[in-house]
A = this chain, B = another copy of it.
Amino acid sequence: MQRILSEALASHAGRKVTIAGWIHRRRLLKSVAFLILRDRAGLAQVLVTDPAVRAQLELLGEETVVQITGLVVANAAAPGGAELTEPEITALSEPVTDLPVELHRPTLAATLPTLLDHAAVTLRHPSRTAVFALSAALVRGFRTTLDQAGYTEIFTPKIVGSATESGANVFELDYFGRKAYLAQSPQFYKQTMVGVFERVYEVGPAFRAEPSDTARHLAEFLSLDVELGFIEDQRDVMTVLREVLAGMLASAQGFGFDLPTVPAEIPILHFAEALKIAGADPAELDLAPADERALGEWALREHGSDFLFVEGYPTAKRAFYTHPEPGGSAYSRGFDLLFRGLELVSGAQRLHRHDDYVAAIAARGDAIEPYADFLEVFRRGMPPHGGFAIGLERFVARLVGASNIREVTLFPRDLHRVTP
């Protein structure tokens, strides 16, 4: 008999159906027993009165996979308003006996190590699946928004020949007897591809050999990258970022999270003005966490916005490929998007002229040679361009209020953890 999902039970009242899933919970009362079945759509209640079936159920622990055929009866007290009665139960997996956690509790009582060591089980808790269903929906919204705006999705290599973007914190690889590295970002490739498609995006892993063991660093994370050509300045990039955020959040409704609203116009502050509002030393070259918090409060108070753009960060503190403000300014066309007082996304207009790259690298006292491949691209005709990158896990952690980024990562990788 064709399986139906739990959510379809009520619409089959009076009929014999088959459902299948995991035994979420058993309640073995004196006169009757209840089995709560969990499938990808939700929960279904099964009423067991036959002593033989009850005896069978007693041997099938929570998380055993079963298929159950029975008669659907309306019952306002059951999840979805119907329950399955007169069940015949077939076990599809071996009986499960020793679970590391109780999945039927409303909240999952487990320490972070337990959560991660037993991910195969703990990820099944509805509070956990909701996080990853949300993540998938956010990525879908990201792509849909950009597809509709004429962007092309690209797939660029994660094994790279040189570690130019930031020499530190890069994973080294034995590549057929030579040294190679894991890409820290698709930065140079997405810029190159602006020369091909004008507007590109990539969703892929990025790797940082991050030696600090904090609640917000991962050695491997998912980077949502955007780059677009023919811009006037960073404002065009910020406009795209706003659209992308709105598209992501619109796509992510319905998973039980209280998501923020992206205003039609996200307020924008220049870095110098932001320092003033935060009451920071005007000579500062970056915003301290306390400054960001103060700015978050200001944006909410003055503009009713959870989001705030800060643009014009000092060139000295941004990546070498960041475009400066014109006229010899020490400020750049780099920006950050703050969400409730925390940095969420970084972006910028990039340099697009070969000579500007050579000058920028020389100004930092770096050698040109390691950048040769990359710089060659800018001798082939590149338009003014810019972009941004969203770290998915950090974004999700802030949206759902997770205190540790590992809680919103399926199988996190860090200084200490490379399994499961």
B171 touches A152 (CB 8 A): no
Which residues from chain B contact A3 at a C-beta distance below 8 Å? 230
Interface size class of A (residues with CB under 8 A): 35 or more
Cβ proximity bits A162-187 to B, threshold 8 Å, 1 near / 0 not: 10000000011111101010100000
Known: A22-B381, A92-B384, A132-B154. 4 other contacts (CB 8 A): A20-B383, A92-B230, A129-B196, A173-B174
For A418, the chain B residues whose CB sits under 8 A away are 159-161, 175, 178, 180
> Contacts of A159 on B, CB cut-off 8 Å?
171, 182, 207, 219-220, 413, 418
**Residue A133, interface by CB 8 Å:** yes
Residues of B within 8 A of A74 (CB): none
Cβ–Cβ contact A64 & B381, under 8 A: yes
Asked if B173 and A171 sit within 8 Å, CB to CB, the answer is yes
A201-219 vs B, CB cutoff 8 Å, 1 = contact: the mask equals 0011101010100000001
A201 to chain B, nearest CB (A): 10
Q: A65-B381, A133-B152 are in contact. Are A196 and B124 (CB under 8 A)?
A: yes
Out of B96, B139, B178, B419, name the residue touching A153 (CB < 8 Å). Answer: B139
Contact A94 B193 (CB under 8 A): no
- A281 located at the interface, meaning its Cβ lies under 8 Å from any Cβ of chain B in the complex: no
Distance between A34 CB and nearest chain B CB, rounded to angstroms: 19
A420: nearest residue on chain B (CB-CB)?
A: B373
Could you list 14 examples of A-B contacts with CB < 8 Å? A63-B380, A92-B383, A92-B384, A93-B352, A94-B354, A96-B379, A96-B381, A120-B376, A124-B196, A133-B152, A136-B152, A159-B171, A172-B174, A176-B209
- A39 contacts across to B, CB distance below 8 A: 198
Q: Which residues of B contact A353 (CB under 8 A)?
A: 93-94
State A381–B355 Cα separation when bound (angstroms). Answer: 61
A61 → chain B, closest Cβ, in Å?
8
Q: Render A125-151 as a binary contact track against B, CB cut-off 8 A, 1 for contact.
A: 000110011011001100100010010
Q: For the complex formed, measure the closest distance between the CB of A143 and the CB atoms of chain B, giving whole angstroms.
A: 8
Does A411 reach chain B (CB closer than 8 Å)?
A: yes
Q: Does A399 contact B (CB under 8 A)?
A: no
Neighbouring B residues of A410 by C-beta, 8 Å = 154-157, 189, 193
Known: A136-B154, A415-B176. Contact between A197 and B129, CB under 8 A?
Answer: yes
Q: Which of A376-411 contact B (CB under 8 A)?
A: 376-384, 392, 410-411
Tell me if A199 is interfacial: C-beta within 8 Å of chain B: yes
**Contact partners of A207 in chain B: CB under 8 A:** 158-159
B contact residues around A23 at 8 Å (CB): 381
Per the 8 Å Cβ criterion, residues 10-59 of A in contact with B are 20, 22-23, 39-40
Alpha-carbon separation in the docked complex, A160 to B220 (Å): 11
Contact across chains for B196 and A161 when beta carbons are under 8 A apart? no
Give the residue among A128, A129, A420 with the most B Cβ atoms within 10 A: A420
